[in-house]
Amino acid sequence: MTQPFLAIRAIRKTFGSVVAVHDVTVDIPKGEFLTFLGPSGSGKSTTLYAIAGFQDPTSGDVLLEGASLLSVPPHKRNIGMVFQRYTLFPHLTVAENVAFPLRVRRRPDAEVKRKVGDMLALVRLEGFADRRPGALSGGQQQRVALARALAYDPPILLMDEPLSALDKKLREEIQAEIRRIHRETGVTILYVTHDQEEALHLSDRIALFRDGRIEQIGSGEDLYLRPATDFVAGFIGNSNFLPAECLETADGAATIRLADGSVVSGVRANHDFGRGQKARLMVRPEAFRLTPDHACAGLAVEFVDTAFFGERRRVVARTASGQEIDIRPTSDMADAHRGGASGGRRVFFDPAAAFLFPA
Amino acid sequence: MADVNLTLRESKAPAGQAGTAAMPGKAPFRFPAGLGGALPALVLVTLFFVVPVVALLLRSVTEPEPGLQNYATLFGDGTYARIFLNTFLVASVVTAVTIVVAFPVAWMLAIMPPALGSIVFGVIILSMWTNLLTRTYAWMVLLQRTGVINRTLISLGIIDEPLPLINNLTGVTIGMVYIMLPFMILPLVGTLRAIDPMTLRAAALCGASPFAAFRRILLPLSLPGVAAGGLMVFVMSLGYFVTPALLGGTSNMMLAEMIAQMIQSLLNWGLGSAAAFVLLAVTMALYALQLRLVGARRVGGGA
């Protein structure tokens, strides 16, 4: 078995009687961008802090190229980190901030100078070397923090919600920068966020945390298109959950009856469901169509409301049983719904894009 | 919030917010628009401070006869020079020791849970409110040859002869550091609290050992507080009377003791006034220096 680059082994952290992290285990290959995604209090930051060395785990181990990190004090771990808050040293200039990790390592002046130049070029802040952090915007400060964290070529870069203090537009701008920097440096990145869009945009793989456990780990596509649980389905993207009753399961597919009595076969099911068991069928808003194509399941609905978001529209529809569902109209629907918010119609979905979860 | 935010906040803060943290008496002079309300205080200061100071200055150049001979004696005579030197020595030693002792206490207070912190804070303030003479006499009891400290050390077999802890520089330093501590701790806590602990975590991950993080990050960021507290302690020490008189020796007299002797025993008002005026001038000069170095707001606010 080849040894993983970074191995998180059964990390467990308890605060008194509260278990913050339950035996989290992940292997991270070199150069990967892995995101810990999850709601607040799900244990993602605690796991990251165990790697950084700020909170010793109650049990478990963190291995970098086979060697345990836990007995190494933070300042000898040689890990880069960008924090949620701005943690630049306010009494030092931008260049001195970036040089700081090199100075404490007593690198020669010429190397420090060259490296600081390279790093400021990497984050595109060449003209800001002599400014103080206080004279920079939040986005610029986080870019300096990134340069400082990468200046000593750490094998791992930890990022703890680094964009959460920035506004949406700036966030997207810096996300693009982070992607570029990851591409250019090839550094292994562990990124913590509660923002699923950010996670999808940035990561090679996402580990979705829930109550101190990893609910599912995989690429963004895996989590979006093949959610392991209804929590994953609900957390990544928007989902509609329709009440259903299972009639039959076989080979990961199920036949179900919806609340309006219609029978749909071929929906995907990860679990075995007993005959007659209550279940919930997840359908993504964008999976709905106005016209039936191959092997589509139909649903009688009434359009209630429609909202315009620029690049997309959102339609709220009501099923026969009174449940409101979200629909992301495709272009063929865009005109059709203008017929007014009244009147019944049918929407269709591909059963192969619908997932059955236990109720 | 680290220091940047601090600067930002200060520059945005309304003028009246400047001298909030500690020592209102040391706030820089700045007259708000409504000068009328300050009039009684102004009259008081003029009558009981400005007038006597001017009178003092006049006496120092008129008694026993007009001229600068008092100042010539003060600076020319070896005895007085030694007293000046000793005064500065004691004030410097006291300031240095106070900074070293106060820093860990202030840091502990800054990172302590607030509930516990306020208790420790209360203890410090309470000691400040206890009568100065009582505290100095208590130190006499502790430090003398047959005092608690010497007796304990002898009975433990650590020393054979009592240590000379009193009537010398050691006694004065111990007694004065104890009295000065709150004046150092208060401004320092304000400065340290404004430093984001995350900044130190970041320094650690950057590879800074605890000592490097202290020297390169914590210490520079706390300098305004150290300077504010240090200046206050130094200036107060320069003119201190009670503690040096009770715990110090006759061989290392301080300026305040000399002034008292000149005026009370020797009735040499001219020389006493000159010495007092030199003390005042040095104090003002130091204060002006600090204003230049750290800026008026920091001196006043400490944070």
pLDDT tens-place string over residues B142-190? 998 888 899 999 999 888 888 888 888 889 999 999 999 999 999 999 9
Task: Inspect the interface and report whether the beta carbons of B201 and A83 lie closer than 8 Å.
Answer: yes
Mean pLDDT calculated for residue range B246-259: 84
Instruction: Give the pLDDT band of residue A147 (cuts 50, 70, 90).
Output: very high
What's the pLDDT band for B95 if we cut at 50, 70, 90? very high
Contact criterion met (CB below 8 Å) for B154 and B160 = yes
pLDDT at residue B278 greater than cutoff 60? yes
A 10 A CB-CB count for B12 gives 8
CATH topology assigned to domain B69-301: MetI-like fold (1.10.3720)
Neighbour tally for A252: CB within 10 Å: 12
Domain boundary among A187, A218, A233: A233
State what percent of residues in chain B have pLDDT above 70: 85
- A22-54 tens-digit pLDDT: 999 999 999 999 999 999 889 999 999 999 998
Number of domains in chain A: 2
Using an 8 Å CB-CB cutoff, list chain B residues near A100. Answer: 203, 206, 208, 216
pLDDT tens per residue, range A79-133? 999 998 889 999 999 999 999 999 999 999 999 999 999 999 999 999 999 999 9
pLDDT, residue A59, reads 93
Closest Cα in chain A to B198: A87
**Co-location of A242 and A179 in the same domain:** no
At A343, the pLDDT band (50, 70, 90 cuts) reads: low
Mind listing the pLDDT tens digit for each residue in A208-254? 999 999 999 999 999 998 888 889 998 998 889 999 888 888 888 88
Q: How confident is the model at residue A336, as a pLDDT?
A: 53
The reply to whether A54 and A125 lie within a common domain is: yes
Enter the ipTM. Answer: 0.79
End-to-end CA distance of chain B: 12
The span from the CA of A53 to the CA of A324, in Å, is 47
Residue of A nearest to B206 (CA): A101
Query: Is the pLDDT score of B201 beyond 80?
Result: yes
If one counts every other C-beta atom within 10 angstroms of the C-beta of residue B75, the result is: 13
Tell me which residue in A78, A79, A90 faces B4 most closely, judged by beta carbons: A90
B203–A89 C-beta distance less than 8 A: yes
Question: Is A35 in the same domain as A175?
Answer: yes
Would A68 be classed as within a structural domain?
Answer: yes
Each residue's pLDDT tens digit, B36-93: 778 888 999 999 989 988 998 898 888 888 888 888 888 888 888 888 888 999 999 9
Looking at the fold, whether A227 and A242 belong to one and the same domain comes out as no
Residue A1 lies in a domain: no
Residue with more model confidence, A344 or A159: A159
Q: pLDDT tens digits for A47-57? A: 999 999 988 89
Of A211, A233, A255, the residue at which a domain comes to its end is A233
Report DSSP letters for A132-161, one per residue.
-GGGS-HHHHHHHHHHHHHTT--SEEEEES
Domain range enclosing A243: 238-358
pLDDT at B228: 87
Q: Are residues A182 and A248 in the same domain?
A: no
- In chain B, domain spans: 69-301
State whether A55 and A142 are in the same domain: yes
If asked whether residues A96 and A215 sit together in one domain, one would say: yes
Last residue of a domain, one of A207, A233, A259: A233
Q: What percent of chain A has pLDDT over 90?
A: 51
Q: Are residues A201 and A300 in the same domain?
A: no
Structure tokens belonging to residue A211: 């109550």
In a domain, A53, yes or no: yes
Mutation pick from B206, B221, B222 vs chain A, by most beta carbons of A within 10 Å, is: B206
Question: pLDDT band for position A1 (50/70/90)?
Answer: low
User: How many alpha carbons lie under 13 Å from residue A124 in its C-beta half-sphere?
Assistant: 9
pLDDT given at position B51: 92
Same domain, residue pair A243 and A211: no
**What is the pLDDT, as a whole number, of residue A182?**
94
Asked whether residue A297 falls in the same domain as residue A205, the answer is no
Interchain proximity B206–A152, CB inside 8 Å: yes
User: B195 or A270: whose pLDDT is higher?
Assistant: B195
**8 A C-beta contact, residue A43 and residue A209:** yes
Count of CB atoms situated within 10 Å of the CB of B83? 21
Task: Identify the band that residue A342 occupies on the pLDDT scale cut at 50, 70 and 90.
Answer: low
Q: Are residues A66 and A111 in the same domain?
A: yes
Runs of H (alpha helix) within B112-131? 114-129
**Cβ-based contacts of B226 with chain A (< 8 Å):** none
Q: Let me know whether A219 and A328 are in one domain.
A: no
Which CATH number does the domain housing residue A26 bear? Answer: 3.40.50.300
